[in-house]
Amino acid sequence: MIDNRKCIGCHACTVACKSEHDVPIGVNRTWVKQVETGAFPDVRRSFHVMRCNHCADAPCTEICPTSALYTRDDGIVDFDNRRCIGCKGCMQACPYDALYIDPDNHTAAKCNFCSHRVDRGLQPACVVACPEQAIVAGDVMDPGSFISQLLATQPVQVRRPEKGTAPSLYYIDGDRAALEPLATDNQPRSVAVESKPDRHGCATSTADVRPLAGLGVAGFLGPEGAGAGKGIPRKVYDAPKNGTLWGWEVSAYLSTKAVAAGALLVPLLALLVGGVAVSRHALMLAGFASLLMQGATGALLVADLDRPDRFLYVLLRGNPRSWLVRGAWILSALGAVSSAWLASVCLEWGRAQTVLAWATLALCIPTAIYTAFLFAQAKGRDLWQSPLAPLHMLVHAAVAGGAISVLLEAARGIAGAEGHLPLARGLLLSGLLADLALAWAEVALPHSTAAASRAAELMHTGLLAKRFWVLFVAAAAIACACVGPLGLPVIAALLALLSLVARNDVWVRAPQMVPMS
């Protein structure tokens, strides 16, 4: 429990935590956020200690593919950096921005309630160091404990209760402006601490800021300040933020996975469901293209890990609750079955070919959509919680499959009316139209949370607007015209793939640009 009636913002808890755990410069397990409210000259600065909430239903433990994060019997959410692969899924899942990648060993870390001290009957280091006894720790299930008495007698707040994580960190006299990430005005006059670029080149400060040295209260809210006379709460001191955790590797992986599934989905649908005669050479080309993209998907997944040397832990030490692990199983199954099917096509195995074709087709759909459930486990990013995400992924597989089929057949010099090309073109056109409709729904319809609305705004009117409107919307619209009235299928296919990559890029990046703490 943090008693904000007593906190003086001395940062003793931060220093004690860094000393106890040898936390590197630039990252923090415990930090103090400072927010100013009111209008000059009636201004108040409040201090709020931020840290892991040790949730009863911790989303970080569910998404972690190797169970490096786990909940102890006493309720402490602890971690084992010997198992961590640096996938950063836990950082996306945590609604409280409590995790970071340790720059020394490249694994995830956070406040673990000083579990090594608790095991010896000692209080966490921050509790001992606090000069005002503003940090209270204890057993909330023990009615005789001081923390239970405070809970029984004082009104308390928790951060982001709508996430349903049942956080175990409570605030007395907490300020909404500090506890809710989007309640403050993060204009360029806020002060960033230890700001540095991440490996994707994104700022890791509280916002895209221009720090102004020596600003006092008048400097922020005085007659010449951006918030003069408005009384808008302002975040003026905070820990550095993580920036873009999942960058181009993840958005590219979504695209290659869509191609891997779609390249097989289209010809097999035509052959097995539509009863269309698909040439043996067309099937072989589709199989080889899919295997190539499956390999690229796996390579991108490994490349995004901060500990790529441990990538086999996903299969060897997998957490079955994590959709990253389930996705690895699905991709592995598709790789094995589609390879066997391709061999049966090349060797003309007859009956076995049909059985393997149906098995491959059955695996294409979960391959296309499983990532939607992985992103849904990233509870810290509200836009990714959309129920339309599985449909979004399936549509992308249809677009990618139609585009690849058109390009492969064009490379072979086959006329457009032969084989499964009519189906491929139909899926390409309908997929593009469906993707445009889904994108419209994503940005135009009301959202359930302010964070999701902010992410949608970033896509269509903010920093990502050019990519969204030009590379996605315009490219997709022109592709529709080329595959339809203009009759230019190759150009349509190339533009469709460009729109697919752009759509995935903005969809992955936008939610990560919304602050979580």
**Digit-coded pLDDT (tens) for 142-174:** 999 999 999 999 999 999 999 999 999 999 999
- Tokens read off for 508: 């992955």
**Stretch 101-119: mean pLDDT, rounded?**
96
Residue span(s) of the chain under CATH 3.30.70.20 come to 2-237
Residue span(s) of the chain under CATH 1.20.1630.10 come to 248-513
Question: Of 296-300, 446-450, 485-489, which gets the smallest average pLDDT?
Answer: 485-489
Question: For residue 463, is pLDDT > 70?
Answer: yes
Q: Tokens 């790529």 belong to which residue?
A: 308
Question: What's the pLDDT score for residue 203?
Answer: 40
Nearest to 179 by CA among 52, 310, 35, 276: 35
Residues 6+ apart with CB under 8 A from 67: 61, 80, 83, 317, 319
Confidence of residue 186 (pLDDT cuts 50, 70, 90): low
**Stretch 461-490: mean pLDDT, rounded?**
93
For residues 346 and 216, the model is more confident at: 346
Which 3 state secondary structure label does DSSP give 460?
A: helix
DSSP H stretches of helix in 248-350: 248-268, 280-304, 313-316, 323-347
**Stretch 218-226: mean pLDDT, rounded?**
36
Rg (CA), the chain: 26
What residues does 70 pair with on adjacent strands?
78
Q: What is the pLDDT of residues 383-437, one digit of tens each?
A: 999 999 999 999 999 999 999 999 988 887 654 445 688 899 999 999 999 999 9
Please tell me the class of the 248-513 domain.
mainly alpha
Question: What's the pLDDT score for residue 413?
Answer: 66
Q: What is the pLDDT of residues 192-201, one digit of tens each?
A: 444 444 454 3
Please tell me the class of the 2-237 domain.
alpha beta
Confidence of residue 232 (pLDDT cuts 50, 70, 90): confident
Question: What's the pLDDT score for residue 467?
Answer: 95
**Angle between helix 489-509 and helix 248-268 axes, rounded to 10 deg:** 140
Question: What's the pLDDT score for residue 350?
Answer: 83
C-alpha separations of 217 from 39, 42, 183, 220, 228 in Å:
10, 10, 19, 5, 11
Residue 194 CB: number of other CB atoms within 10 A? 12
Report pTM: 0.89
Question: Are 460 and 468 in contact, with CB atoms under 8 Å apart?
Answer: yes
With the C-alpha atoms ordered 351, 356, 359, 364, is the resulting torsion angle positive or negative? negative
Question: What's the pLDDT score for residue 221?
Answer: 35
Question: What's the pLDDT score for residue 185?
Answer: 67
Question: What's the pLDDT score for residue 205?
Answer: 38
**Residue 75 phi, psi dihedral angles, 5° rounding:** 95, -10
Confidence of residue 230 (pLDDT cuts 50, 70, 90): low
Question: For residue 308, is pLDDT > 80?
Answer: yes
For the chain, the 3-state helix, strand and coil shares in percent, each to the nearest 5, are 50, 10, 40
